[in-house]
Amino acid sequence: MRYLRTSGLALIGLFVSLAASAQESAKPIVVLKEVLAGMPKGDKQEVQVLTASFTPGQRTVFHTHRFPVTVYILEGAFTLEMEGRPSITITAGQSIVEPPGVRMTGYNRSATDLIRLVIFYVGDPGTPFLDILHQ
């Protein structure tokens, strides 16, 4: 009986220890890591986190950004066309950095699926997120 009590306590201790270890070991997963040129250099920067949804067939305006833009896809497949570069399609769970000063547009090429994405933009305070271009 004493052996069962000691073994039971040891087993409970093991489970508590494993549960604590599982909680302590939660770590972020790196989705994208990239060294960037063109980031703001002032004493202060403004951080913007935006969300966007694209219905089937919808696209962005033709535009540029003054600073790099990071896009993370939550749902769907987003196609980015940048002047002088091949088009890129990124899907849910993937991320891309859009470079500054490059003329671009993005599309939802699906006929049925919605796209949901998160956009991270760091710029000088008051800098617009994008500059619209006329084709």
For residue range 8-32, list pLDDT tens digits in order: 555 555 555 656 555 678 888 899 8
User: Are residues 78 and 53 in contact, defined by beta-carbon separation less than 8 angstroms?
Assistant: no
CA distance 67 to 77: 24
Q: How far from 126 is each of 14, 30, 35, 43, 122, CA to CA, in Å?
A: 54, 29, 24, 14, 11
Prediction pTM value? 0.78
Q: What is the pLDDT of residue 20?
A: 58
Q: What is the pLDDT of residue 17?
A: 60
CA distance 65 to 80: 14
Q: Where are the domains of the chain?
A: 46-132
Q: What is the CATH number of domain 46-132?
A: 2.60.120.10
